[in-house]
Amino acid sequence: KAGTTRNFKVWRGDESGGDLTDYQVQVNEGEVVLDVIHRLQATEAPDLACRWNCKAGKCGSCSMEINGMPRLGCMTRMSTFDENETVTITPLRTFPIIRDLVTDVSFNYEKARETPAFAPPEELKPGEYRMQQVDVERSQEFRKCIECFLCQNTCHVVRDHEENKESFSGPRYFIRAAELDMHPLDAKTDRKEYAQASQGLGYCNITKCCTEVCPEHIKITDNAIIPMKERVVDRRYDPVVWLGSKIFRR
Ligand code: SF4
Ligand code: F3S
Ligand code: FES
């Protein structure tokens, strides 16, 4: 089937500012938003900057906002939009702009570096680590993370609050804490304490927006954040969990 010409608005600019630019682009059957960006680069906008790598939803590079929703460009089919609809493509809002659709996501790498690494008991040598299959399976979900940072981008705690970034690690690192908390050989750090004291777990008021945008369908809020909040609540006062327990547990 022959392609149709569709209307797009793409944010163009750099750290000093920018604007939406109108484009008309041919879209063929089965194409995704990243195909449209590649066609633009091959035709009228050869200097359009966009990060991508796998085009298979696995590298986590092509994160962008499509009609205001945080999405992977390579996994968003053009068939999900009405033929007459203008599709607006903008960079992730939470991170500083480098150019066009490319943002500086180093906030996330800093938070990753701050998280204490997995540390098994000292008496165990490599090759002596043993764990039950059930423990392997418990945290398997969290290891599906492709580090697209869509959850980090969408979380309202940092989305429009630059000032919270220093004390808030974000949902991607809450699942890392939960993963290590479930690891029977992670011996050195109390991950629940750490999440509360250093990762800013208390800022999260379980809005679940992170879970909604996760392309790997990781149940970030239900399976990582809430269990960690529930387990720290005995030791530290957390108004959200306290309120939740009043409303839901009578
Ligand atoms: Fe992306 Fe999901 Fe990982 Fe967040 S948890 S970085 S949304 S894959
Ligand atoms: Fe943010 Fe997810 Fe909590 S969006 S507020 S980390 S539930
Ligand atoms: Fe790899 Fe989209 S290009 S996830």
pLDDT (tens digit, 9 = 90+) per residue, 169-189? Answer: 999 999 999 999 999 999 899
What's the CA gap between 105 and 125, in Å, rounded?
Answer: 36
Alpha-carbon distance 143 to 218, whole Å? 9
Q: Which residues contact 59 (CB under 8 A, 6 or more apart)?
A: 52, 53, 146
For residue 126, what pLDDT is reported? 86
Mean pLDDT (the chain) is: 93
Which residue, judged by its Cα, is nearest atom 5 of ligand 2?
204
pLDDT band at 9 (very low <50, low <70, confident <90, very high): very high
What does the pLDDT read at residue 90? 98
The pLDDT value recorded for residue 93 is 97
Q: What would the pLDDT profile of 44-89 be if each residue is shown by its tens digit?
A: 999 999 999 999 999 999 999 999 999 999 999 999 999 999 999 9
Whether residue 107 is predicted with pLDDT greater than 80 in this model: the reply is yes
Instruction: Identify which of 180, 213, 209, 184 has the alpha carbon closest to the alpha carbon of residue 195.
Output: 180
Strands 87-90 and 102-103: unpaired
Atom nearest to 144 CA in ligand 1: 8
Q: How far does residue 57's CA lie from ligand 3's centre (Å)?
A: 5
**Helix 171-181 to helix 106-114 angle, to the nearest 10 degrees?**
30
Q: How far is the CA of 80 from the centre of ligand 1 (A)?
A: 22
User: Which residues, judged by CB distance below 6 Å to any ligand atom, belong to the binding site of ligand 2?
Assistant: 155, 157, 171, 204-210, 221, 225
Location of structure tokens 């790997």: 216
**pLDDT given for residue 239 in this prediction:** 60
**Residues 85-105: tens digit of each pLDDT:** 999 999 999 999 999 999 999
A 10 A CB-CB count for 44 gives 12
What pTM was estimated for this model as a whole?
0.91
Structure token digits, residue 65: 């906002």
What is the percent of the chain where pLDDT is above 90? 88
Is any atom of ligand 3 closer than 6 Å to the C-beta of 76? no
What is the pLDDT confidence band of residue 36, given thresholds at 50, 70 and 90?
very high
Mean local confidence (pLDDT), 165-170: 98
pLDDT of residue 2: 74
Work out whether the CA dihedral 222, 227, 228, 230 comes out positive or negative.
Answer: positive
Residue located nearest, by CA, to atom 8 of ligand 1: 145
Stretch (H or E) spanning 110: helix 106-114
**What gap in Å lies between CA 52 and CA 98, rounded to an integer?**
15
Is the confidence at residue 250, as pLDDT, over 50?
no
- Alpha carbon 140 to chain centroid, angstroms: 17
For residue 235, is pLDDT > 50?
yes
Concatenated DSSP letters of 176-198: HHHHHHT-TT--S--HHHHHHHT
Q: Which of 58, 150, 214 to mutate to test the pocket of ligand 3 (most atoms within 8 A of CB)?
A: 58
